[in-house]
Structure 1
Amino acid sequence: MADYFTHFSCLLPMPADDAEACVRQRHADLALDPDAAGGFEVSVDRDALWLRDCNGHVDLDALVNFIIGCGRVCGLSGLFVIEYAQTCSRPRPGAFGGGAVVIDLDACEVVEEMGTGIWSEEVIARHGQTAPLLAA
C-alpha cells in the first residue's frame, strides 16, 4: 500500500515579537480544538514565522487561513507564496507533483493557486493536444 504526502516549509517575515504572538495564538487555538491542527507546525526563526508540515498531511486551507489571520493581526502586506510538494512512499503514476498558493496579505485572500497537474493539462491543451503521451 502506498502513502501519499504533502510537504512544505516556508518563512513568513515579521518582527520576532509578532511571530511569538502568532505561535502563542496557535497553541491557544489548538488547546481549544486539537482537531483543528491542520497538519502544520509553527515556530519563530529570527525575524520570521517558520511554518512547515509536521506529518506530510497538511490541510492547505487551514494553513492559508492561519497565514491570513497572522497577516491581519500583525499588519503584514504584500504577496506571500506557499510552495508545496506532493509525494508518495511508492512509485505510482500521478502520485508526484506540487503546486503553489499566492496570498495577498493586504486583501486577506488567495489571489491564485496552481497545481502541476492542472498546469501541465493547460500547457498540453494550448499546444493542441488533448492528453499527454505518457498519461499518469
Structure 2
Amino acid sequence: MADFFTHFSCVLDVGTVDNAWMHDETTGDPQQVVEFVLRCARAFRLRGRWGFQWANSCSRPRIGAFSGGAHLLDLGRRKTISWMTTDRWLAMALNGGNPDAGGQGDDLA
C-alpha cells in the first residue's frame, strides 16, 4: 500500500466559502463539480459565466502527484467554454506549443 495520499479540493464562489468547499480525500474529479454546477444552473435557471479552480496535492513529494486546473462554464448554455490543467499546459509549453492556448483539449496526441 502506498505511503502517501492524494487530495482534491475546489472552492465554489457562491458568496461565502463556508458552504462552498468541496474536497475528496482521494483523487477527486473536476467533471463531477461541472455536472453538479450545471444541474444547479438548470434547476435555478442560472445565466452567465462561472468558473472554478481545483488542486490536487499529495502528502509526500511524488512526481506527477501535484496538479490543478481551472474550468470556465456558460451557465445559460449549460456547457464548458474552456478548461485547462497545469500538467497539460506545462507539457504543451515545453513541447514548443503556445502557452497562451490554455492546455485545453487533446493537443498532445
The 8 Å contact of residues 5 and 26 in structure 2, kept in 1 or not, is answered as: no
Distance across 1 between alignment mates of 2:88 and 2:26: 21
Find the residue that maps to 1:126 and give its secondary structure: coil
2:63 maps to 1:61: no
The one of 69, 90, 110 equivalent to 2:80 is 110
Q: Which residue of 2 aligns with 1:10?
A: 12
Deviation, 1:59, is: 2.8
Task: Please give the TM-score of this superposition, normalised by the length of structure 1.
Answer: 0.60
Question: Residues 55, 92 of structure 1: CA spacing in aligned structure 2 closer, same or farther, 3 A cutoff?
Answer: closer
1:77-105 Cα offsets, whole Å, 9 max, x none, are: 11111101110011111211210111110
In structure 2, C-alpha distance between the alignment counterparts of 1:56 and 1:111, rounded to whole Å? 27
Q: How does 1:81-96 map to 2 (within 5 A)?
A: 81-96=51-66
Are 2:27 and 2:56, in contact at CA under 8 Å, matched by a contact in 1? Answer: no
Deviations 1:97-135 (A, max 9, x none): 2101111101101121111000001111226xxxxxxxx
Asked if the contact 1:7–1:56 (Cα under 8 Å) also holds between the matched residues in 2, the reply is: no
Structure 1 residues 83, 96: closer, same or farther in 2, change over 3 A?
same
What is the aligned partner in structure 2 of residue 34 from structure 1? none
CA distance in 2, matches of 1:59, 1:123: 24
Deviation of residue 74 (structure 1)? 1.1
Question: Any residues of structure 2 matched to 1:1-136 within 5 Å, and which?
Answer: 1-12=3-14, 45=16, 50-53=20-23, 55=25, 57-126=27-96
Query: Conserved in 2, the CA contact under 8 Å of 1:7 and 1:57?
Result: no
For structure 2, list consecutive stretches of 5 or more residues without a partner in the other structure. Answer: 98-109
Question: TM-score with structure 2 length normalisation?
Answer: 0.73
CA contact (8 A) 2:68 2:85 kept: yes
- Structure number with greater Rg is 1
The DSSP-based 3-state class of the residue aligned with 2:8 is strand
Which structure 1 residue ranges, 5 or more long, are not aligned? 14-44, 128-136
Whichever structure has more helix as a proportion of its residues is 1
Equivalent residues of 1:88, 1:96 under 8 A apart:
yes
Which fold has the larger relative contact order, with Cα–Cα distance below 8 Å and residues 6 or more apart in sequence?
A: 1
